[in-house]
């Protein structure tokens, strides 16, 4: 019987070289990354880390703060960062650390795009979208102020929902959530999982299970109104939402705000009339509301 004895140094040398490379990448030390990459390539030319690490080295070597001069330049740079550089970072460093590693590059891209106007056909190159990638919530909120009527554009309203949630919490975000539900319920469906709020997650799951609608993302237009049948304390916060298209989901929510206010004031005659209007607009939500009274 032959016993194969492993040489610990030989079998750990590649790990040591990769660790040197990763350490240099995390420091954004271009010279050290280049040297570590050369050593790894010399000793382990077939190592799977070489190709993605070379992509990251080129990204560091080409890093610049020069402003984009036109949209095409920005689209190309953002595409490379999103489709080539960040995936390479995740291959070398792992999913979480790779995403974190790319944050300074997204910040640089946002600064470079700061002079470009908002383009409805290419919203992903606006600096607010890039600050969102960098998770700089204050910068997102500031950048959105440069977009005229950002509160009436689904994509920019969704960006502000994410920023407001991180900066001020759920209570401050309820009005924007209501506006997004009325304006673009499908966009709200995309945003809700990104907010990672336990209460909001619980309520959205309950709504999906209990609301008698079409069973698609469009049902979320009724989410703000339904919320008031479950948590009347939200009336003040949801009532602060700015007027939208005044379609039925908004009308019903505002009528529920009115009903809750009348209940608190003890104005029974006015409350009876308001409830009658509510029943005419949405019998299902009227029944749900009355079941808690």
Q: What is the pLDDT of residues 180-219, one digit of tens each?
A: 999 999 999 999 999 999 999 999 999 999 999 998 989 9
Alpha-carbon distance of 174 to 235, in angstroms, equals 10
Rounded to the nearest integer, the mean pLDDT of the chain is 94
- Residue 221 tokens read as 């237009």
Residue 92 has a pLDDT of: 97
131 burial (CB, 10 Å; 0-12 / 13-18 / 19+) is buried
Looking at residue 263, its pLDDT comes to 96
Give the tokens for residue 146: 């440069």
Note whether 225 and 254 are within 8 A (CB). Answer: no
pLDDT level of residue 245 (50, 70, 90 thresholds): confident
Q: How confident is the model at residue 246 (pLDDT cuts 50, 70, 90)?
A: confident
Could you report the per-residue pLDDT of 69-118, keeping only the tens digit for each?
A: 999 999 999 999 999 999 999 999 999 999 999 999 999 999 999 999 99
Residue of 105, 157, 100 lying closest to 130 (CA atoms): 105
The dihedral region occupied by 126, where left means phi > 0, alpha psi between -120 and 50, and beta the remainder, is beta
């Amino acid at each position: 019987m032959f016993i194969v004895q492993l040489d610990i140094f030989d079998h750990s040398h590649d790990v040591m070289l990769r660790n040197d490379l990763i350490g240099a990448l995390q420091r954004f030390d271009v010279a050290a990354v280049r040297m570590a990459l050369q050593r790894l390539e010399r000793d382990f030319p077939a190592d799977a880390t070489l190709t993605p690490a070379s992509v990251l080295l080129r990204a560091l070597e080409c890093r610049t703060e020069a402003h984009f001069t036109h949209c095409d330049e920005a689209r190309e740079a953002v595409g490379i960062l999103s489709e080539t550089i960040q995936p390479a970072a995740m291959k070398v460093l792992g999913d979480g650390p790779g995403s974190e590693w790319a944050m300074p590059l997204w910040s640089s891209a946002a600064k470079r795009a700061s002079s470009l106007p908002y383009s409805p056909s290419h919203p992903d190159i606006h600096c607010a979208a890039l600050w969102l990638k960098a998770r700089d919530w204050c910068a997102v909120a500031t950048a959105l102020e440069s977009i005229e009527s950002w509160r009436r554009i689904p994509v920019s309203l969704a960006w502000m929902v994410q920023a407001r949630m991180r900066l001020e919490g759920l209570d401050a975000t309820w009005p924007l959530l209501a506006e997004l539900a009325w304006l673009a319920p499908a966009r709200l469906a995309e945003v809700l999982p990104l907010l990672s709020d336990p209460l909001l997650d619980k309520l959205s799951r309950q709504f999906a299970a209990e609301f008698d609608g079409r069973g698609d993302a469009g049902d979320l237009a009724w989410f703000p109104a339904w919320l008031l049948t479950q948590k009347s304390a939200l009336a003040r916060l949801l009532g602060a939402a700015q007027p939208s298209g005044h379609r039925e989901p908004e009308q019903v929510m505002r009528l529920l705000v009115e009903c809750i206010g009348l209940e608190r004031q003890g104005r029974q005659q006015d409350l009876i009339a308001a409830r009658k209007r509510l029943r005419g607009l949405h019998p299902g939500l009227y029944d749900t509301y009355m079941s808690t009274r």
